[in-house]
A = this chain, B = another copy of it.
Amino acid sequence: MIERNCNSFPLIRKIMPYTLKDVAALAGVSIATASRVINGKPGVKPATRTKILDVARELNYLPDQLAKGMKTKRTNTIGLVVADITNPFYSYTAKIIEMKARAHNYTVIVGNTNNNSTIEHDIITNLRERKVDGFIFASVELHDKPVRQLIQSGAPCITYHRHLEGYQGNFIGSDESEGVSLATQHLYDLGHRRIGFISGPRIFSTGRERLRSFLETSRTFAIESPDYLIKEGGYEITKTRTCVNEILSLPEPPTAIFAANDLMALQVLDCVLEAGYRVPDDISIVGYDDIAIASHHSIQLTTVNVHAKQCAELVIETLINIIEGLRPAGEHTKTLLKPELKVRESTAKPRK
């Protein structure tokens, strides 16, 4: 391979990447023509085209996307902001988004907010400075100021999983009411009348809506749901465990516990087993999301599948359509996928 050295310090021999100028010079054409060929534009004599392509291959020419982005105002980059990539729901959807984006020639920059709004703000600023073409958020709070502003600025933007108050902007997610209702009814049908509920933080739509739906469904079925059976958990492990232990130490513990997501349900399972209860014999457990480990033979968690794959695919496809103007800019989409109850071994009839 022919090398191009740093001409200001020829002795350092730091290899400088070839530019279009090099390609053009070696092919004996102008930069404009070389640019046309590299970008597959029409109107170039076949012989010229071949020559340029040959030189480019020879030099192993790679176009500088910074320079290109500066001119075209498009970077083919998408920012993906998630709460925590170690949560299987996020890593799974992030992977699908990344791969589908790549297939459409987009690159994804991932940011973890850790559910911290200051970090989220920093991430957004950084993504804007990098001129990403669009944003995906799986991390929004209901009253997420930075994301609202971003949407108002007209930037291509879509939220999934968690949405903004009033479903502002584009959103693709799951029908939380229906999912929770299905799971609650399942417990009711098995005979449970005292159910503990560990909710997620209510600043997130998922936390608020899953709790709300649980309370509504409980009322419909006349299931007891006194305050002391309802706990607001958090995404830190200890928080959930504290909630469970409080519930278990009640004079009359519930016969079932519904956790607002699978990761929390896994903690609930852990706690309940450690406290010496059997699952589902003594206590039934239900989760939400249907992450991969939920179906593992040793776990067998009854949970609600939210069609994460389909959701992620829709998200990236929709965003790319918005970016490429294939969809009216002002028009917002709100898609709710129907969730599906997965009944496994963690739920059973309560003991009499």
Could you tell me which A residues sit within 8 Å of B by CB distance? 14-15, 17, 62-67, 69-70, 75, 84-86, 88, 91-92, 94-95, 98-99, 102, 107-112, 114, 119, 122-123, 125-126, 128-131, 153-154, 266, 269-270, 273-274, 292-293, 296-299
Determine if A131 and B88 form an interchain contact, defined as CB atoms under 8 angstroms apart. Answer: no
Q: Which among A70, A99, A122, A130 has the greatest number of chain B C-beta atoms within 10 A?
A: A130
Determine if B75 and A84 form an interchain contact, defined as CB atoms under 8 angstroms apart. Answer: no
Instruction: Look across to chain B and name the residue whose beta carbon is closest to the beta carbon of A266.
Output: B296
Q: Which residues of B contact A91 (CB under 8 A)?
A: 85-86, 91
CA distance A69 to B126 in the complex (A): 14
- Which of B108, B269, B297 interacts with A110 by CB under 8 Å? B108
- Which of B98, B111, B273 interacts with A298 by CB under 8 Å? B273
Q: Which residues of B contact A125 (CB under 8 A)?
A: 62
CA distance A333 to B123 in the complex (A): 31
A275 to chain B, nearest CB (A): 10
A325 to chain B, nearest CB (A): 12
Determine if A15 and B153 form an interchain contact, defined as CB atoms under 8 angstroms apart. Answer: yes
Q: Which residues of B contact A292 (CB under 8 A)?
A: 86
A280 to chain B, nearest CB (A): 13
Instruction: Check A130/B153 contact, CB under 8 A, given A66-B70, A86-B95.
Output: no
CA distance A154 to B5 in the complex (A): 12
CA distance A131 to B17 in the complex (A): 10
CA distance A297 to B296 in the complex (A): 13
Extra 8 A-B pairs, beta carbons < 8 Å, given A85-B94, A102-B126 = A64-B131, A66-B70, A66-B130, A85-B91, A91-B91, A108-B109, A274-B297, A298-B298
Determine if A128 and B62 form an interchain contact, defined as CB atoms under 8 angstroms apart. Answer: yes
Shortest Cβ-Cβ A-B pairs, 7 listed: A270-B297, A91-B91, A65-B129, A298-B298, A273-B297, A86-B91, A66-B66
Determine if A107 and B107 form an interchain contact, defined as CB atoms under 8 angstroms apart. Answer: no
Instruction: Look across to chain B and name the residue whose beta carbon is closest to the beta carbon of A62.
Output: B129
Instruction: Look across to chain B and name the residue whose beta carbon is closest to the beta carbon of A68.
Output: B129
CA distance A88 to B266 in the complex (A): 15
Q: Which residues of B contact A131 (CB under 8 A)?
A: 64-66
CA distance A111 to B269 in the complex (A): 34
- Which of B17, B67, B102, B109 interacts with A70 by CB under 8 Å? B67
Q: Which residues of B contact A123 (CB under 8 A)?
A: 102
- Which of B17, B65, B112, B130 interacts with A65 by CB under 8 Å? B130
Show 23 A/B contacts (Cβ-Cβ < 8 Å), sorted by A: A15-B154, A62-B125, A62-B129, A64-B129, A64-B131, A67-B70, A70-B70, A84-B95, A85-B94, A85-B98, A86-B88, A91-B91, A94-B110, A98-B111, A102-B111, A102-B119, A102-B123, A102-B126, A107-B130, A269-B297, A269-B298, A270-B296, A270-B297
